[in-house]
Amino acid sequence: MEDPTEQPRARQPRAEPPRTDQQEARAAGTSPAEEHGPETVVFTEVQRSTGWWHWLVVALALLSVVGILLWLVWWIKPGNVLPNIAVLLPAFIVIGLVAVPLATLKLTTRITDQAIYVRLSPPPLYRMHPSRIPWTSVRQAYVREYHEFKEYGGFGIRYATPSIGDAITLNAHTGLQLELTNGKKLLISTRRPDELEAVLAGLKGRGLTAE
C-alpha cells in the first residue's frame, strides 16, 4: 500500500537533440552567413556587353519589336487582310527572345574579405553558375590574360575541359583565375586587371586568401 505522504517524483526534462548551425542561426534571428560576421567589400565591377556584335544584337532586338508592332497594327484594324509580315511573326518573336537578353547582358563581380560573388544577368542566367565562392574553397587566385574563343569558344557562361576549367566572361581579355580546392577551375572576366591585382595582393597580405 502506497504511503500517502510520499511526494510525487518530479518528471525529468526530455533531452533535446543538438541543433544544427542553421537552426541556431534561425533561433537567433540571423542567417548562417551572418554568423561569420559582416563582410567588407574590397572590389566591385559591373561589365556590360560592348563591341560591334552588341550593336548588331540591339538592331535585331529592335527589328523584332518593330515587326511585332507592325503586325499588331494591321491585326487590330477591322477589315484588313493580314499582310505577308504575318508570316514572319514567329521569326520576329524568336529573334526577340534571343536578342533582347543578349543586348542587356551584365556581369557583376563583388569581392569581399570572405567570398567572391559573381552574377551574370538577366535571369535565369545567374541561376546557371555559382553566385558565391568562399575564399576557404579557393586554393589559388590570380589575374591572367585569356582568349575568349580559343580557350572557351565564346563569351558568357562557358564550360570547357577540366584542364582549362569553366568561365564567366563578357568581352574582356583578362580575368580572375580561380583554382578551387575541389580541383575545378573558374575564370571570371575583368576590365580592371591592375586594380584587381592590387586587391588580391592586399587580401593575401592579410592572410585572407591562398597564395
pLDDT digits (tens, 9 = 90+) for 7-37: 555 555 455 555 544 444 344 443 444 445 6
CA distance linking residue 91 with residue 45, whole number of Å: 36
Whether 93 and 114 share a structural domain: no
Please check whether residue 95 lies inside any domain of the structure: yes
Q: Residue 116: which of 192, 21, 209 has the closest Cα?
A: 209
Indicate the number of domains in the chain: 2
Whether 119 and 199 share a structural domain: yes
CA distances for 16 relative to 9, 10, 19, 76, angstroms: 21, 18, 8, 68
pLDDT digits (tens, 9 = 90+) for 103-137: 678 899 999 999 999 998 876 655 666 689 999 99
CA distance linking residue 176 with residue 140, whole number of Å: 10
Whether 129 and 193 share a structural domain: yes
Query: What is the domain range of residue 87?
Result: 52-103
Please check whether residue 1 lies inside any domain of the structure: no
Domain boundary among 86, 103, 120: 103
Residue-averaged pLDDT of the chain: 75
CB-based contact 100:188 (threshold 8 Å) = no
DSSP string, 67-124: HHHHHHHHHHSTTPPP-GGGGGHHHHHHHHHHHHHHHT-EEEEEEESSEEEEEEESTT
Which carries the bigger pLDDT value, residue 168 or residue 153?
Answer: 168
Please check whether residue 14 lies inside any domain of the structure: no
CATH of the domain at 185: 2.30.29
Q: Name the residue with cell 564550360.
A: 159
In sequence order, what are the residues at sequence separation of 6 or more whose Cβ sits closer than 8 angstroms to the Cβ of residue 202?
Answer: 42
**What's the pLDDT at 198?**
95
CA distance linking residue 174 with residue 145, whole number of Å: 4
The winner for highest mean pLDDT among 59-63, 76-80, 170-174 is 170-174
CA distance linking residue 62 with residue 149, whole number of Å: 27
Threshold 0.85, pTM exceeds: no
Please check whether residue 175 lies inside any domain of the structure: yes
Whether 197 and 114 share a structural domain: yes
Length of the chain: 211
Percent of the chain with pLDDT over 90: 33
Q: Name the residue with cell 504575318.
A: 86
